[in-house]
Amino acid sequence: MATSILDLSAERMAETSADTEDLRLVEGLRAGADSSYEELLARFQQPVYTLALRLLNDPSEAADVVQEVFLKVFRNIGHFRGQSTLKTWVYRITVNEAHNARRWFFRHRGREVELDHEPDESRNWKESLPDKSRSPYDLAVDRERHAMIETALARINPIFREAVVLRDVADLSYEEIADVLSISLGTVKSRILRGREALRDELAGSLKKRPALRLVPKTARVNL
Amino acid sequence: MSCENEQQLISSLLDRRIAGPERENALAHIASCQTCETAYESMQKMRLSLGKLNAAPVPAELRASLRDLAASERLRMISRATQKTRTSRWSDTVHLWFENLMRPMALPFAGGVLSALFLFAAWVPSMAAPRISGDVPTPIMTAPSLDRFQFTPTDKGGNAVVTLLIDPRGKVMDCQVTGGELSPELINMILFYQYTPAKVLGHDTWGTLVFRMNEINVKG
C-alpha cells in the first residue's frame, strides 16, 4: 500500500513537473525566445517525424507533414491553453495533418507515378556508417523485419493504424491516445486490439507468402 | 478462463491495463495454455518490433528546413509581439489622455447636471394650468334670479303670475301681473326682495323675471 501511494505521488510529481516545463516552454515560444524554439524542435522533431512516417509510410509526405505541423504549432502556440499536455497537443496536430495528407494523396496523387529515388539512398553519412556492435547478419534480419512490419502497418486500416502507432511506436498511454484522437478510452482499447490483430494477420500472411524469410530467424534462434 | 477473449487479455496484459488477481489469473492461463502462450509471445515480439520503429532518423534536409521555419516564425512572433505592445501602449496613452481630460470636468459636469435637474423639477409645476377651487363657470348671459332663502311661502297669493323687471343693482323696477290676483302683502314682499341681476359676460344688466306663487319661471 505504501509503495502504491509513493508511486502515485511520484507520478503526480512527474506530471506536475512536465506541466511546468510545458508552460515554461510555451511562455518562451510566445515571447519569441530562441532557446524555446530550439528546445521545441529538439523535443518534438524526431517523434513527430516518426509518427508522420509511420502513419503515412512515405518519407517525403512525412517531411511535408512535419513542416506543416511545426508551422501550425508555431502559429497557434498562442491558443494553447494547457488543457492537454504539449505532447498530446502536438501529436493531435500531427495525426490530423497526416489524415489530411492521406486524403489529399488519395484525391490528387493516387495515380501519379513515383519518380523519386529510394528512401534508403537519401540517408546521411551517419546512418550509413557500419555498426560494429552488431553482425551484418543481425542487421540484415532486423532490416528485413523492419520492412515487413512497415509494410504490414501500411496495409492495415488507417483508423487502427493510428491507435497502434500511437501506442506501440510512440509509446503513448491509453489516456494520451484518447486525448490525441479525441475518442473514449474504450474505443482506444478496441482500436488498439483490432489494429494489433490486423497487423498480426498481415504479418502472418506476408510470412506465408515468403517462407524463406520465415526460416531465417527460426534457424538463428535455434543456434542461440 | 476460456481462450475466447485471449486477444483482449493479451493486449491488456502487454499494456499493463490489468493488475492484481486478474493479471495473475491471466498469466496463469497463458502459462497453462499453449495457444495463448504462443499468441502472447508473438504479440510481445510484434510490439517490440513496433517499438524499434520509433527511432526513424529525421532527414538532414528536414532538420534544416525546420530550423529555418523556427527562425522565421520566431521573428514573426517577435514582430507581432512588438506590434501588439506598441498598440497596447498607444491605447493606454489615449485612455490616460481622455481620463485626464475628463477628470477636471467631472465635478462641474455632475454639478451642472444636478442643477439642471433641480431647476427643471422646480420649474415644471409652474407650467401646469392653475386650478381655482369653487370657480363658477361664466356663461355669456344669465337671467335674474331670486334668492330662495328670502322666499317665505304664503297661501295668500293664489296662483298669481307676476313679470318683474330687475335692474343691474338687483332691485325691482317694474311689476306687471299677468295672471291671477295678488294681495298687497305679496306685492310688498316681491318689491322689497333682493334679486340677483341678469349678467351679460359677467356684467350686471337689466333682465325680466316671471314670478309665480307656486314656482318661479325665468324668462330671458
Q: What percent of chain A is modeled with pLDDT above 70? A: 71
What is the Cα–Cα distance from B146 to B190, expressed in whole angstroms?
10
Q: What percent of chain B is modeled with pLDDT above 90? A: 19
Does the distance separating the beta carbons of B56 and A50 come in below 8 Å? yes
Q: How confident is the model at residue A203 (pLDDT cuts 50, 70, 90)?
A: confident
Phi then psi for residue A66, to 5 deg, are -60, -40
Task: Give the domain range for residue A159.
Answer: 133-224
Query: CATH number for the domain including A70?
Result: 1.10.1740.10
Q: What is the dihedral of CA A162, A165, A167, A172, to 10 degrees?
A: -90
Contacts A49 to B, Cβ<8 Å = 56, 58, 62
Residue of B nearest to A33 (CA): B74
Position with higher pLDDT, A175 vs A107: A175
- Tell me: pLDDT of B205 over 60: yes
Chain B closest-CA separation from residue A85 CA (Å): 20
What is the Cα–Cα distance from B170 to B214, expressed in whole angstroms?
22
Looking at the domain assignment, is residue A7 inside a domain?
no
How many structural domains does chain B have?
3
pLDDT of residue A216: 47
pLDDT of residue B148: 62
pLDDT of residue A222: 45
Cell of B86: 506598441
Q: Are residues B100 and B146 in the same domain?
A: no
- Tell me: pLDDT of A94 over 80: yes
Q: How confident is the model at residue B51 (pLDDT cuts 50, 70, 90)?
A: confident
Cell of B110: 455632475
How many structural domains does chain A have?
2
Query: Which of A151-165, B26-40, B125-139 is least confident?
Result: B125-139
What's this model's pTM, rounded to 2 decimal places?
Answer: 0.58
Position with higher pLDDT, A12 vs B109: B109
Mutate one of A49, A129, A201 to test the B interface: name it (highest B CB count within 10 A): A49
Residues B159, B213 contacting (CB under 8 angstroms): yes
What is the Cα–Cα distance from B33 to A139, expressed in whole angstroms?
34
Contacts B11 to A, Cβ<8 Å = 189, 192-193, 196
Query: Which of A55-64, B3-12, B104-113 is least confident?
Result: B3-12
Query: Which of A9-13, A98-102, B31-35 is least confident?
Result: A9-13
Q: Are residues B109 and B145 in the same domain?
A: no
Contacts A126 to B, Cβ<8 Å = 57
pLDDT of residue A126: 54
Looking at the domain assignment, is residue B43 inside a domain?
yes
- Tell me: pLDDT of A210 over 60: no
Please, what is the average pLDDT of chain B? Answer: 81
